[in-house]
Amino acid sequence: MKLEISKEELRNFLLHATDEQLAEMIEFIHPVDILEVIHEYKEDEDVIMKRLPSEILAEIVDEEEDEEKYGLLSHFSDTEQMVILEEMSSDEITDLVSVLDEAESEDVLSKMNVEDRQEVRELLSYDADTAGGLMATEFISLSQHMSVLQTLEYLQKAAQDAEMAYYLYVVDQSNVLTGVVSLREIVAHSFDTLIRDIANPNVISVPASTDQEEVARIFSKYSFLMMPVVDEHDHILGVITVDDVMDIIEEENTEDIHRLAQINEEEKVDGSLIESLKSRLPWLFINLLTAFLASSVVAVFSGTIEKVVALAAVNPIIAGMGGNAGTQSLTIVVRGIALGELTGDNARRVFFKEFGVGILSGVSIGLVVALICGVMQQNPIFGLVVGLAMLLNMAFATIAGYAVPVILKKINVDPALASSVFVTTVTDVLGFFFFLGLATLFLPYLI
C-alpha cells in the first residue's frame, strides 16, 4: 500500500481487501485515518468496524472525541466491548466515563474486570484538570536491585501493556519513587549492571493535585515524553505522556481564545444555534451596558459636539485606536500569565515596557493623525487636540491592558474571560473623555 492514499482509496481497501491483506497491512494504517473514513462514510461504519481487530478498535476509540466514544462502542456486542475496553488505557477509559451519565458510565464499568474497574474509579476521584485526572496507571516500575538482564527479561513481558516504555521508573520496596532510567541506558550497559547504578536519582515528578496548565509548562520546559505522578509521600501513582499534554495545550489555547472573545469554551463551530446563543448573549448584554457607559460620556459633551461637528467624525478613531493598543497589551499580558512568564520578579519591568510602548505609539500615531486632521480642518489647534487625545488614550490603554488581567488574576478571576470587557470600557470611556474634554478646553480656538 502507498504511504499516502486518499480517503476513498482507504475506504475501498478497508471494505474490499481480503482478510489476509487486511491483517498484513492494518498495522501500517494510523487509527486516525481510519476514524476519518468512518466519519466521512457513515454508511460503511458498521462494515469497517466489524472487520478490524480489537487492538485497532481500541486505538480508534481512543482517538475519537470523548463525547462520541460511547457511540462507537455501542456498535458492538457486550462481549466485543469487553475486549475493546481491555485494550484501552485507564486514562482514556476515565475520559470516556467522565462525560457519560450515570447509567452509561455504569454500563461501561460493568464490562471491565474488577482490577481495571477499580483503577478507573480511583482516577475518577481526581479533578479532571489535574495531574491525577490526566495520568494513566499503565507504567513500568523497576526494583533498584534488579540487573539489566532481569530488566530486559521483565520488559519482554510487561512493555506491551505499558502506556509508554521509553522511561522506566525505579522504586524501593515501599513503592517510593527513587529514580528513572531510560531504555538507552539499559541497552548500553552490561547484563550484570544493577539498575540502581545507572538510574538518575533526580527524577522530576508532579503531585496528583497539580493543575494541568502547570503540568504542560513542566513538559514544555524539560521537553519530556513522559512524567510520573506521585502522592504526598512520593509513592508513584501513574504517568502522564506527551500526547495527553498536547491535548491539554490545545484545550487551554482554545479556552483562552474563546474567553478573550467572551465565548463559552465548550462552544464548537458545528454546535447548535441554542448553544451558541447561550454562550454569547450574556456577554453581549454586558458589552451593551459598557457601551451605554461610554455613550453617557459623549452625552456630557454634546454641547461641544454641536458647536464643532467635526468632533463626531474623529471620536471613533480615538476610541478605536485606544482599543487596538489596549488589546495588544492585553493579549501579551494574558498569555504571559498563562505561560508563567509574567512573575513578581519581572512585573515592574513589563509594566514600564508596556507603558513605554503606549507612549511611543501614541506619539507616533498622534503626530500623524494631528497632521491629517489639522490639514483637513485647516485648524492646527484641532490637530493638536486630536493628537494629544490619541497620545493619552493609547498610553492609558496599555496601562489598562497590563493592569486589568493582573488585578483579575490576583482576585482569582480568569484574566482571559473578563479582561477584554474592562479594557474596552476603559479605552472607550477615556478616549471620549480625553478628546471631548480637550476639545471643550480649547473650544474658543476650534469654532
> Residue 164: pLDDT above 70?
no
> Residue 2: pLDDT above 50?
no
> Residue 389: pLDDT above 70?
yes
> Based on the number of CB atoms within 10 Å of its own CB, is 168 exposed (0-12), middle (13-18) or buried (19 or more)?
buried
Nearest-angstrom CA–CA distance, 379 and 315? 17
Give start-end residues of each CATH 1.25.60.10 domain in the chain: 7-134
> Based on the number of CB atoms within 10 Å of its own CB, is 76 exposed (0-12), middle (13-18) or buried (19 or more)?
middle
Nearest-angstrom CA–CA distance, 175 and 143? 9
Burial 204-219 (b: 16+ CB within 10 A, else e): ebbebebebbebbbbb
Q: For residue 96, what is its C-alpha cell? A: 470516556
Res 418: pLDDT: 74
**Residue 26 has what DSSP assignment?**
G
CATH T-level fold of 7-134 = MgtE N-terminal fold (1.25.60)
> Can you name the residues that pair with 206 across neighbouring β-strands?
229
In the chain the first and final C-alpha atoms are separated, in Å, by: 81
> Residue 144: pLDDT above 80?
yes
Res 260: pLDDT: 64
Nearest-angstrom CA–CA distance, 123 and 109? 13
Residues of the chain above pLDDT 90, percent = 35
Give start-end residues of each CATH 3.10.580.10 domain in the chain: 141-241
The H or E element that residue 171 is part of is: strand 167-171
Lowest mean pLDDT among 14-18, 164-168, 423-427: 164-168
> Residue 136: pLDDT above 70?
yes
pLDDT in tens, 195-211: 999 999 999 999 999 99
Nearest-angstrom CA–CA distance, 381 and 370? 9
**pLDDT-derived band at 162, boundaries 50, 70, 90:** low
Query: Span 156-180, mean pLDDT?
Result: 81
> Is-contact 422 344, C-beta < 8 A?
no
pLDDT in tens, 56-106: 888 888 888 877 888 888 888 888 888 888 888 888 888 888 888 888 888
Residue that wins the pLDDT comparison between 359 and 161: 359
> In angstroms, how far is CA 313 from the centroid of its own chain?
41
> Residue 284: pLDDT above 60?
yes
> Residue 392: pLDDT above 60?
yes
Nearest-angstrom CA–CA distance, 316 and 85? 60
Q: What interhelical angle do 102-110 and 90-98 show, nearest 10?
A: 150
For residue 239, give the nearest of 90, 121, 69 by alpha carbon: 90
> Residue 338: pLDDT above 80?
no
For the domain spanning 141-241, the CATH number is: 3.10.580.10
Beta strands (DSSP E) in 176-278 are: 177-182, 206-207, 226-230, 236-241
Res 1: pLDDT: 43
The most confident of 1-5, 73-77, 383-387, by mean pLDDT: 383-387
Res 422: pLDDT: 86
Res 210: pLDDT: 94
Class of domain 273-446: mainly alpha
Give start-end residues of each CATH 1.10.357.20 domain in the chain: 273-446
> Residue 240: pLDDT above 80?
yes
Res 137: pLDDT: 86
